Amino acid sequence: MTLNILFLTVTIKKRQLSAEDVVREQMAKKIIDQNRDRQFSIYRPF
């Protein structure tokens, strides 16, 4: 997609992810989910 605004061209391209990037993102999401679950178990209202 290309937008032309006052002689300024902005091009947006979909980024290609490598297998290594996909694995890193999955690990990060897993860790974030684990931390969120831990926080909910600690701060759960009674």
What are the extents of the domains in the chain?
A: 2-43
pLDDT of residue 1: 62
Output the DSSP codes for 16-45.
PPPHHHHHHHHHHHHHHHHHHHHHHHHH--
- pLDDT confidence tier of residue 14, bands split at 50, 70 and 90: confident
pLDDT of residue 3: 60
pLDDT of residue 25: 93
pLDDT exceeds cutoff 70 at 37? yes
pLDDT exceeds cutoff 70 at 24? yes
